[in-house]
Amino acid sequence: MTTLKAGDKAPDFSLSSSAGMPVRLSQFLGTNIVIFFYPMDESPVCSKEAEAFRDRYESFKELEAEVIGISSQAVDSHKSFAKRHRLPFILLSDPDNKVRKLFGIASTLGVVPGRATFVINKEGIIELVYSSQWRPTKHAKEALHALKIQSTSGPIIQME
């Protein structure tokens, strides 16, 4: 499994959303995209991460960024998670972890799905990869920071 890094082209994929509709990454070309992969709906740590993206959502929109959360839970689980935590962004279901593997996100201790965030520019190029299983709220902060500086600095160094 090869982990994608800053400067790589983001691979296209299609997954079902919490609204029950298929979503394709390529449909967002022309806008900035922030994808965060998280282990599971409703865990305390994952809830904090999703809420951090929610609380900064307007700032992401101001920077012309679409926020997308991905985990392996079913569409119904995502619907409930989004409603309970008032999440305004798209949640996608990756039941077989195919997209997680496509992006090269390793599991922690071989069992817990990895937590990683990718900032993708309007041309589909990855600007930032931030991976930290134990600092969930920092993902939104790092993604926002990358979006603010991407237009002047080019790809951001991968952080772990």
Which tens digits make up the pLDDT trace of 113-158?
889 999 999 999 999 999 888 898 999 999 999 998 865 555 544 4
pLDDT score for 23: 96
pLDDT score for 158: 47
Cα gap 70→80, rounded to integer Å? 14
The one catalytic residue in 6, 23, 33, 46 is 46
Percent of the chain with pLDDT strictly greater than 90? 78
CB 158 within 8 A of CB 5: yes
Cα gap 160→25, rounded to integer Å? 24
Count of H helices and E strands in the chain?
5, 7
| pTM tops 0.75 | yes
**Tokens 């809830």 -> residue:** 47
Average of pLDDT values for 8-28? 94
Is 46 catalytic? The answer is yes
pLDDT score for 153: 55
pLDDT score for 159: 47
Average of pLDDT values for 45-69? 95
Average of pLDDT values for 53-59? 96
Homologous superfamily of the 14-153 domain (CATH): Glutaredoxin (3.40.30.10)
